Amino acid sequence: MKRAIESALARLVGQPLWAVGRASSLTWFHFGNRHIVSTMRGLAKEVGTYALHVDCPWSWTKSWGEAIADQDSDHDDLADVLPTPVTCTSIEAANDGSFRMTFDDNSTLAVEADPDPEAEEYWRLFEPHLLTSHIVVGPKGVKT
pTM of the predicted protein model:
0.93
Q: At CB < 8 A and 24+ separation, what contacts does 137-143 make?
A: 137/1, 137/5, 137/97, 137/113, 138/97, 139/97, 139/113, 141/1, 141/4, 141/97, 142/1, 142/4, 142/5, 142/8, 142/97
For 123, phi then psi, to 5°, come to -160, 165
Q: Is pLDDT of 115 > 80?
A: no
Q: Is the dihedral of CA 60, 134, 35, 16 positive or negative?
A: positive
Confidence at residue 41, expressed as pLDDT on a 0 to 100 scale? 86
Q: How confident is the model at residue 61 (pLDDT cuts 50, 70, 90)?
A: very high
- Lowest model confidence (mean pLDDT) among 6-20, 41-55, 91-105, 130-144: 130-144
SS3 130: coil
pLDDT band at 59 (very low <50, low <70, confident <90, very high): very high
pLDDT for 136 equals: 92
Q: Which residue would you say has higher pLDDT here, 27 or 142?
A: 27
Assign 74 a pLDDT band (cuts: 50, 70, 90): confident
Mean pLDDT on 117-138: 89
Q: What is the mean pLDDT of residues 102-128?
A: 91
pLDDT digits (tens, 9 = 90+) for 16-29: 999 999 988 899 99
| CA separation for the pair 27, 52 (Å, rounded) | 8
Q: Give the pLDDT score at 68.
A: 93
